[in-house]
């Protein structure tokens, strides 16, 4: 089972993907995480992506598509029960390119799940998020606090606030979402692939709705 998990910044894609990985043995492919890893390793794509990401803008399609294609091609036999695309595609051009990848690499996207959350809620979620420097796990100072402040529950790593979580960058991320990514909702609706889920519920209730959708498949 291969699925696309869509939604605005802070909608809970990473949170829900982590639950799906644990229960269903799926592999999470987060383009945001891949870019951040490339940045830490100072590869050329890492340097380029950081230039756009830190201001809240999308990395240009050509770079993003190439990175995703290479990743899929290299790992096609290691995805276990399938994969979750978290944060890709984010433009119509990326969605079209993904269709080309399906043909050339021989896989199929089974469903597109869209997490719907109001912008006011998103702002609160993004400003309170803390991410583990070591394993990438995410927490929230109010909604999912770590047991010890500033320390990851999973691995003991240090928690930090991402560079693109400043008020200015969040503003750009939300307007970029409106302009470039929201049109994908209609794109996948017209293809009959989209399930909309209310992302403004508790993490467990959102997860239970996602599970119902996947079980129906």
Q: Which positions are annotated as active-site residues? A: 13, 90, 129, 162, 173
- Binds 59, which of ligand AP5, Zn ion, none (CB < 5 to 8 A, cut-off by type)? ligand AP5
CB-based contacts of 67-72 (< 8 A; 24+ apart in sequence): 67/31, 67/34, 67/35, 67/38, 68/29, 68/31, 68/94, 68/98, 68/101, 69/97, 69/101, 71/29, 71/34, 72/29, 72/101, 72/105, 72/107
| Residue (of 66, 56, 82, 71) closest to 181 by Cα position | 56
Contact 165, 141 (CB under 8 A): no
- Binds 184, which of ligand AP5, Zn ion, none (CB < 5 to 8 A, cut-off by type)? none
Tokens, residue 125: 């979620």
d(CA 116, CA 11): 7
Q: In this complex, which beta carbon is closest to Zn ion, that of residue 39 or of residue 173?
A: 39
Tokens, residue 103: 């043909």
Contact 127, 121 (CB under 8 A): no
Residues 52-91 that bind ligand AP5 (CB under 6 A): 52-53, 56-59, 64, 87-88, 90
**By CB under 6 A, is residue 143 in contact with ligand AP5?**
yes
Among 113, 137, 206, 210, binds Zn ion (CB under 5 A): 137
Flag whether 91 is marked binding. no
Where along the sequence are the contacts to ligand AP5 (CB under 6 A)?
Answer: 7, 9-15, 30-32, 35, 52-53, 56-59, 64, 87-88, 90, 94, 125, 128-129, 138-140, 143-144, 164, 173, 202-203, 206
Where along the sequence are the contacts to Zn ion (CB under 5 A)?
Answer: 132, 134-135, 137, 152, 154-155, 157
Q: Which residues define the annotated binding site for Zn(2+)? A: 132, 135, 152, 155
Q: Which residues define the annotated binding site for AMP? A: 31, 36, 57-59, 87-90, 94, 162, 173
């Amino acid at each position: 089972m291969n699925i696309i998990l869509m939604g605005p910044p802070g909608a809970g894609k990473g949170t829900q993907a982590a639950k799906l990985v644990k229960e269903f043995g799926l592999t999470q492919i987060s383009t945001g995480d891949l870019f951040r890893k490339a940045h830490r390793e100072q590869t050329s794509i890492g340097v380029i992506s950081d230039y756009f990401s830190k201001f809240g803008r999308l990395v240009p399609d050509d770079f993003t598509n190439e990175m995703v294609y290479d990743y899929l091609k290299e790992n096609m036999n290691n995805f276990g029960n399938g994969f979750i695309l978290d944060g890709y595609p984010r433009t119509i051009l990326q969605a079209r390119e993904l269709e080309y990848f399906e043909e050339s690499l021989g896989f199929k996207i089974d469903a597109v799940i869209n997490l719907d959350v109001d912008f006011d809620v998103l702002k609160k979620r993004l400003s309170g998020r803390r991410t583990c420097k070591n394993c990438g796990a995410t927490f929230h100072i109010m909604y999912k606090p770590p047991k010890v402040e500033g320390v990851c529950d999973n691995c003991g790593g240090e928690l930090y606030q991402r560079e693109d979580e400043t008020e200015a960058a969040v503003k750009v991320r939300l307007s970029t979402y409106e302009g470039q990514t929201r049109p994908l909702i209609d794109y996948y609706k017209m293809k009959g692939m989209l399930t909309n889920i209310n992302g403004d519920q508790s993490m467990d209730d959102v997860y239970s709705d996602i599970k119902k959708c996947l079980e129906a498949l």
